[in-house]
Amino acid sequence: EAGTITSQEWLGEGIFTCQDCPMTTYRPLASGNIRVNTVDSRGCSNTAQLFIQVEELPLEVYVPNVFAPEGSGANTNFTIFAGTNVLNIEELVIFDRWGNEVFYSANQNELWYGLKDGADAQPGLYVWELNYENGVVEEKLTGEVLLIR
């Protein structure tokens, strides 16, 4: 007769929601083995192991290279479009040609409407820096956007 499981420990190269719970959620950081060690009420131990293959998805971030705040229709604000493999946009920073910060947001739903200090920013080329989490690591992208008035 088997004893009741009294303890368990989850092991693997990843993130567990709980390492000593009977059930857990696991987010792997790379391909590899996940293992659970258990001990029952009779002092017997057991180990189960499973190999998990992690496949990298192509980057699903689209950042427009031009926008016109006074335009009509599409591209009237600067918006980041992220796919399902982007868990969270950590921050977006936009700089003018002299390196001055003109926009900052840690809210992935906040848009830039082409303003600097509450007034219309000058037309021209701006540099953006985007930090996001793709489920495995934090990534950084940089690029340029042209503001047209």
pLDDT in tens, 93-107: 999 999 999 999 998
pLDDT score, position 29:
78
Can you tell me the mean pLDDT for 139-146?
92
Question: For the chain, what is the HEC assignment?
Answer: CCCCEEEEEEEECEEECCCCCCCCCEEECCCEEEEEEEEECCCCEEEEEEEECCCCCCCCEECCCEECCCCCCCCCCECCEECCCCCEEEEEEEECCCCCEEEEECCCCCCECCEECCEECCCEEEEEEEEEECCCCEEEEEEEEEECC
- How confident is residue 117, by pLDDT bands cut at 50, 70 and 90? very high
